[in-house]
Amino acid sequence: APTSNATGAVAFPPGFVWGAATAAFQIEGATAEDGRTDSIWDVFARVPGAVAGGDDGAVACDHYHRYRDDVALMRSLHLGAYRFSTSWARVRPDGGAPNPRGLAFYDRLVDELLAADILPWVTLYHWDLPQALEDAGGWPARETAYRFADYAMTAHEALGDRVRVWTTLNEPWCSSFLSYIGGEHAPGRTSRRDGVAAAHHLLLGHGLAAAAIREVDPTAVVGLTVNLTVADPVDPANPADVAAAAKHDGLFNRTFLDPVLRGDYPADVREWLAPYGLDDVVRDGDLPLISTPIDALGVNYYNGSSVAATPPAVVDAGVTDRPDGVRDDADAPRRHTQAPTPSPEGVHHHGRGLPRTAMGWEVQPEGLTRLLTRLHRDYTGPAGVALYVTENGAAYDDVADDDGFVDDSGDRLAYLDAHLRAVKDAIDAGADVRGYFAWSLLDNFEWAHGYSKRFGIVRTDYATQRRTVKASGRWYGQVARTGVVPDASAVAGADQSAD
């Protein structure tokens, strides 16, 4: 597709939301304070070899104690919105009774944000299930969906007078397939049946919570955030490769999009998941709940994928044929014992020689244009649902100078620039995209990679907890302030200031 916004200055529509995103477990720390109990990530991080470097979330970015400074930082970056998640194990420890001291933290945070003119965007579940609920069966147990809806209402009751945007789940593909089949994320299970049941119960939890919030708060903006890819066949003229791409699209994207936005699992997905028990967990009445109308679809996009029916002849530099594209290096978490999709047979990932980030993920901005255009055409446009890019960003091997400054203008800034241009291309093609959130505000706990991977537009020095805005952060602050992505040639090497 021709790119119309390749280099010149690009102005976004008035009212476009500029934000940055984080997640509770990745930044808060204070994991045993004010009544919070273990989540599955606290427990998983204690498993030898589960997280690179033996890292855990005990301190992270110490945001629990530094939230005021962090909100001031966001204000200095001119952010209009802040997407964060609430910790279930803080709000309802062990998944049990509401905890006023835990809720009070989010109360303070929301007030601080509003005082700084930053809209709070709450995500209720960003992967941190209370361990007690995992012990009771976790997401493969249907009961967890009902407990999630209860927790959602507790959070809404405390914050709903001030928080207007409610996202139920972040990336259910990750909290089901990657966590219960791939074993790479907490709770580290490796069962295809568990992964399929988890996926359905996450969707059910989304539907129950969305319906309950709508009921008590008809003007709330209710949504779901999904991680999506663009699956291209290696050889578009080879029907087997085309079928492999359709299968990857089905198991990665459509398994989650179709139930929510079209009211049913697609026929091919049903067929692929039947051997792993999908029909045993779907009950009458589930799909109408799951397809409760939403107002916003959050899209997390990092990379596209190029798939074939056969493995690549040569595995390119340091990259294994892993479905998640994770680089096979010393920092990489433990291997999948099975690929993290229920039916990976006949789906092989091939590198395309595109530049890669420090995660080993290919940089493919035009995929974001195609993804948003397709979503608008096939899913959200017909339903009148707004699109938001709720995560996009990149890890690179940052080098900080003596002042902690990282000049990432050659990589992270360029990544954000290219993807924002891709978003504008989608808007120009008619997609109703209303906002963009950089992942992430801060370097933080990158799940199985621990602190070894840095996605922040602000550097975190973990020894001192000092935050230093990177070149990409200064640039993004200007974009947020002006609503304009500046001429690319003016950016390279330019002296950028945050104000």
Question: In this structure, what DSSP letter does residue 435 have?
Answer: E
Judged by beta carbon, residue 338 or residue 482, the one nearer ligand GBH is 338
Measured CA to CA, the distance from residue 297 to residue 286 in angstroms comes to 20
Contact between 451 and ligand GBH by CB under 6 A: the answer reads no
Contact between 232 and ligand GBH by CB under 6 A: the answer reads no
The alpha carbon dihedral of 42, 46, 50, 51 has a sign of positive
Binder among 10, 17, 20, 23 for ligand GBH (CB under 6 A): 23
Contact between 443 and ligand GBH by CB under 6 A: the answer reads no
Q: How far is the CB of 393 from ligand GBH (least distance, A)?
A: 7
Q: How far is CA 30 from CA 102, 178, 282, in A?
A: 11, 26, 38
Contact between 179 and ligand GBH by CB under 6 A: the answer reads no
Residues 319-348 that bind ligand GBH (CB under 6 A): 323-325
Question: Taking a C-beta distance cutoff of 8 angstroms, is the pair 173, 227 a contact?
Answer: yes
Provide the token pair at 89. Answer: 């194990």
Judged by beta carbon, residue 300 or residue 369, the one nearer ligand GBH is 300
Residue 397 backbone zone (phi > 0: left; psi -120 to 50: alpha; other: beta): beta
Contact between 194 and ligand GBH by CB under 6 A: the answer reads no
**Closest alpha carbon to 201 in 147, 159, 261, 151:** 147
Q: How far is the CB of 371 from ligand GBH (least distance, A)?
A: 12
Binder among 94, 194, 411, 446 for ligand GBH (CB under 6 A): 446
Q: How far is the CB of 361 from ligand GBH (least distance, A)?
A: 6
Measured CA to CA, the distance from residue 485 to residue 173 in angstroms comes to 31
**Number of shown-chain residues binding ligand GBH (CB under 6 A):** 19
Judged by beta carbon, residue 158 or residue 304, the one nearer ligand GBH is 304
Binder among 179, 300, 357, 460 for ligand GBH (CB under 6 A): 300
Residues 199-228 that bind ligand GBH (CB under 6 A): 227
Residue 430: CB atoms within 10 A of its CB come to: 12
Q: How far is the CB of 300 from ligand GBH (least distance, A)?
A: 6
> Is 362 considered catalytic here?
no
Alpha helices in 354-487 (DSSP H): 365-375, 381-383, 412-428, 471-482
Binder among 5, 87, 253, 305 for ligand GBH (CB under 6 A): 305
Asked if omega into 218 is within 30° of 0 (cis), the reply is no
Binder among 44, 105, 302, 379 for ligand GBH (CB under 6 A): 302
Residues 376-405 that bind ligand GBH (CB under 6 A): 391
Q: Which of 28, 134, 391, 446 is catalytic?
A: 391
Provide the token pair at 437. Answer: 């959130």
Q: How far is the CB of 324 from ligand GBH (least distance, A)?
A: 4
Q: How far is the CB of 145 from ligand GBH (least distance, A)?
A: 20
Provide the token pair at 18. Answer: 């500029």
Asked if omega into 175 is within 30° of 0 (cis), the reply is no
Question: Taking a C-beta distance cutoff of 8 angstroms, is the pair 383, 261 a contact?
Answer: yes
Residues within the interface to ligand GBH (CB under 6 A)? 23, 26, 170-171, 174, 227, 229, 300, 302-303, 305, 323-325, 361, 391, 439, 446, 455
Catalytic residues: 391
